[in-house]
Amino acid sequence: MATVTAVRTTELLERLLRARRFDEFLLANADAVRGHFHVSIGLEATAAALPRVRRASDLVTTTYRNHAHLAALGSDLTVMYAEIFGRDLGHQRGRAGSTHLSDPGVGMLHTSAMVSGGVPIALGQAHALTRSREGAVCFCFFGDGAFGEGAVHESLNLASLWRLPIVFVCENNAAAEADRANDYQSAASLLALAEAHAVHGTAVDARHPAAVLEALEALTGDVRDGSGPRFLDAQAGRWPGNATFFPHDATGPTDLRDAQGDADDAWRSTDDPLLNECRRLISTGFALDRMLDIDRRITAEVDDAVRRARLAPVAPPDTAFRDVVGS
């Protein structure tokens, strides 16, 4: 498999850490945020796999839960924090905030905060790519809740009908029922809903980043080959912090040493994709100390980013009235 290279390196670990520490530092600096924000904790496996399969001309759409995608793709963490903190330094000069975070430098032109809002836009971007860039694809991330919106079903149909180069990635952290995809769906699975529109795909246990990477590589290859859109049902665990509006202390900062030995809760023992990747690396012979070194380096980088963003000037009030239209 093409994933052999990746699974033998700390690449996934580094991207997972970059995303995880970004959100943990954000929670610790929540006093600098006006308005609400969403963290990606627990859902980082898909984000961590993305940079491995994404080519420079590929585009990405995501949701209000976007921090992991940007962090994993290598977006400037200081600029990300600056946007979230309402600073002029942000990519969108403070007009977007956490829920609309984007970065053209990593192929993310706009982020919708409407559930399912980015999905039809991804189709249009994929369509535009077919006009100019052979083999380029658009990665379209959305949550399981988006299946409640008509736009997702319209988009699956349209993408299939027009054979658009698009990889649908559903970050699914809803609990499955015995015979239904989740509490809000009558279909047996989300994959079945995609298949109904002849969008083929696969389901993967997204608590395990290496498994996600393998699935995403295979599906993306199909799409690049011109086979039409593909769908990934990435079934993640639920971070306990998502159950509350104030998740700050749900689990505390992640300690990679929890990957050794037996943790006594579901989050640490089975659900956390970061700890699971550590466990996988340990099983292939990596020393935990080496991972802790990587963690220290990344944590220092994130710490520095949040400090610099806090010191950045706020967005000047007069800029609130600019750029309503282009001409």
Strands 59-61 and 200-205, bridge-based pairing: unpaired
CB 17 within 8 A of CB 25: no
Q: Which of 18, 25, 27, 90 binds another protein (CB under 8 A)?
A: 90
Q: Which of 32, 158, 218, 282 binds another protein (CB under 8 A)?
A: 158
User: Where does this chain touch another protein (CB under 8 A) — which range of 3-11, 65-73, 95-103, 285-293?
Assistant: 95-103
User: Where does this chain touch another protein (CB under 8 A) — which range of 73-81, 146-154, 235-243, 253-261?
Assistant: 146-154
User: Where does this chain touch another protein (CB under 8 A) — which range of 27-35, 106-114, 181-189, 211-219?
Assistant: 106-114
Diameter of the chain by CA atoms? 61
Element housing 25 (H / E):
helix 11-28
Q: Site size for another protein, by CB under 8 A?
A: 43
* Angstrom distance (rounded) from CA 151 to CA 12: 32
Q: Is 120 in the site for another protein (CB under 8 A)?
A: yes
Comparing CB distances to another protein, the nearer of 154 and 301 is 154
Strands 166-172 and 138-143, bridge-based pairing: parallel
* Angstrom distance (rounded) from CA 171 to CA 191: 12
CB 134 within 8 A of CB 197: no
Q: Is 91 in the site for another protein (CB under 8 A)?
A: yes
Measured from the CB of residue 125, what is the shortest distance to another protein in angstroms? 4
Counting Cα atoms < 13 Å in the Cβ hemisphere of 257 gives 3
Measured from the CB of residue 194, what is the shortest distance to another protein in angstroms? 15
Comparing CB distances to another protein, the nearer of 47 and 59 is 59
Sequence-distant (≥ 6) Cβ neighbours of residue 247 within 8 angstroms: 27, 39, 41, 239, 240, 241
Q: Is 150 in the site for another protein (CB under 8 A)?
A: yes
Alpha carbon separation from 136 to 1, 105, 107, 194, 259 (Å, rounded): 21, 16, 11, 22, 37
Site track for another protein across 39-78, x = CB under 8 A: --------------------x-------------------
Residues near another protein (CB under 8 A) are 59, 90-93, 95-96, 100, 102, 104, 109-110, 112, 114, 117, 119-129, 131-132, 138, 150-151, 154-155, 157-158, 161-162, 322-327
